Chains A and B, each alone.
Chain A
């Protein structure tokens, strides 16, 4: 029989559907903001990473429009050939100044930064030491490297030191990689201790600060600023797609790092550069963070109030110390029920279940937002309380 070359497409998709592992895309009919319209229904948005609501900030929107008018809709090339515009370089100068580093580099996405840079920093004969709960894009970046990979239990500094001790002397380079803020639990890496251990063992440090940028530290300058380590972490990686409200990956560090990174990262070298509108919005977003501290302040006020009230109602919010607020309910079915009921009541929050988290740690992940008003949060809280009681969670 002649082979059907594409039969697997349908077969594997159908298998995903049968296992209920397929994605069903939801549609936003309008901007992503605290009150969004999803699939025709108005909801309070608790799933967005647009922490500071900057994607709708007039100056950020204006920045995009102005840059498009001035530079056009596209850049025409990769940056290494003919697509390096003044506005791309302006973003990087502004970002480095904001982050307190010598230099910075913008990648097409956060994923492209991890997938492009990590394999260049460690090769055969080197070891990458990685937190067990690191994000999938780090895991993929690490897979592209020929280095050995050592994993330490989540945030376990004793184990990190033991792995460093084992690696010391056996490998040419040692690279420690961690998320700054962990996206499932909302807890943070002890960067001060990681930095100290790295210094002691001559290891490089790489922090994926996707959820820390614009959230942690003074003015939202990120996890290194939170720990008073500006300019000391070897590679500060982040993204413009979350608190900055735009899109794009970023790397901040020494001039040497940036020269090395853009000469070696294939994802950077072989992808077209950002459209000017994206760069214009990034630039405006950094300037808003510098000049309007009220957004970060409001995010934390909302976060602290939301968490305090949830805990007082009897919900388990785990070890979170950031606006990522897990509401841990235990069984997967319960988390799914809670999510379904919340959406019915106009609160958009999705469940996170096994195998993304342990079997008994299924949860709703609620992301706080600076754009939510007091009334909005009170409505969300009363809805959580009502359904929590209805389902016997509290």
Chain B
């Protein structure tokens, strides 16, 4: 399991903090990130206070990188486990840190998320086997750049999905990535021009509200049955409608009212049965920009065939992509510029490959064309 380094602001910056995992693969990756971070500050003192855990859970890597100005807030045992990650996070939270940086994969992300929730943003140095969660930098060097931008006060907090393999299904031989929740991570602010040469930073919350308003307006205009996919972006739509939307599941809405909650494949098929169609609101989830196949397996091939009107047997040559309404904030699209699908049905996947692009709503009535594909050749 990982270890920890923490960091907190000095007088000229607001309080910051950092936690790092450090063992085996994590160790070298953490060191790479720290070395890069130090280089970005030209070898000078990093203008933030650092907090960490002893030995392999952070302190060793900081020392190796030549960063000696830190405070140890958690003494880790020789043999660490997920429990230590949780305890370390609790110690960081007590110190009121502004950011937790860790090294690991989806498993570590879950451990941290379970302790931290949405109270503190988290940033991952990718070092795990599975990294579907949206909290990781592209690589250690890119993570260091993001961290520096945060320390310098240029980044804001945004939501990102915490995802992991469903271990139970995996043991049964099925490979299924589940959505566990939405954590806070860091994102580039989105700017809009408010004057000829004057720009205003738009916070992520305002963009999410705009998106939710756009979707609810379309719902009112078009009527019919709407399915709301998982994730915090779509959850906003539920909030705008005033319905109790499950964050992790798929819900159905009709005439502004909830028509089904946390629906599974069977429930979805039953709801779609006998109807002309429905629209489904989806947002890319996780680090790889998946709109289908990660975190929403309830949208099974059978459900998708109905939605895309591909259930006419062999004659289903032209899928109705209008059934999908994809929404994403500009910050999220910047992080995942390509949308991906992995529906578990090669035929459906290939229709997305052939299409190549989908219109994505990025604000109130604002659309952007974004590449989509299964990643298969």
Contact = CB atoms under 8 A, between A and B. Distances in A.
Instruction: Indicate whether A and B interact.
Output: yes
Interface residues of A, number: 20
A151 B197 CA distance: 20
A150 B359 contact: yes
Contacts of A148: 365-367
Contacts of B365: 146-149
Interface string B247-266: 00000000000000000000
Contacts of B193: 136, 139
Interface stretch (A61-69, A162-170, A239-247, A341-349): A162-170
B244 interface: no
A240 B199 CA distance: 26
A163 B196 contact: no
Nearest to B365: A148
A151 B366 contact: yes
Given A162-B357, A166-B359, A170-B322, A152 B369 contact: yes
B326 to A, nearest CB: 12
Interface in A21-64: 21, 23
A356 interface: yes
A5 interface: no
Contact of A159 (B194, B196, B369): B369
Interface string B329-371: 0000000000000000000000000001101000001111100
B90 to A, nearest CB: 36
B191 interface: yes
A222 to B, nearest CB: 21
Contacts of B197: 352, 356
Nearest to A150: B367
A392 interface: no
B276 interface: no
A147 B365 CA distance: 7
B195 interface: yes
Nearest to B357: A162
A225 B135 CA distance: 52
A355 B191 contact: yes
Contacts of B196: 136
Interface string A252-287: 000000000000000000000000000000000000
A30 B196 CA distance: 24
Contacts of B129: none
B198 A166 contact: no
A163 B369 contact: yes
A54 to B, nearest CB: 22
A163 B371 CA distance: 12
B357 A356 contact: no
Given A150-B359, A166-B357, A166-B359, A136 B195 contact: yes
B331 to A, nearest CB: 14
Contacts of B366: 148-149, 151
Given A136-B196, A170-B322, A150 B357 contact: no
B304 to A, nearest CB: 20
Contacts of A146: 365
Interface string A329-352: 000000000000000000000001
A109 B356 CA distance: 42
Nearest to B195: A136
Contacts of A147: 365
Contacts of B367: 127, 148-151, 163
Contacts of B198: 21, 23
Contacts of B191: 355
Contacts of A139: 192-193
Contacts of B359: 150, 163, 166
Contacts of B357: 162, 166
Contacts of A127: 367
Contacts of A152: 369
A269 B195 CA distance: 24
A149 B365 CA distance: 6
Interface string B62-96: 00000000000000000000000000000000000
7 contacts: A136-B193, A136-B194, A148-B366, A150-B369, A151-B367, A162-B356, A352-B197
Given A148-B367, A151-B367, A166-B369, 6 more contacts: A21-B198, A162-B357, A162-B369, A163-B359, A163-B369, A170-B322
Nearest 7 pairs between A and B by C-beta? A355-B191, A355-B199, A136-B193, A150-B367, A148-B365, A149-B366, A163-B369
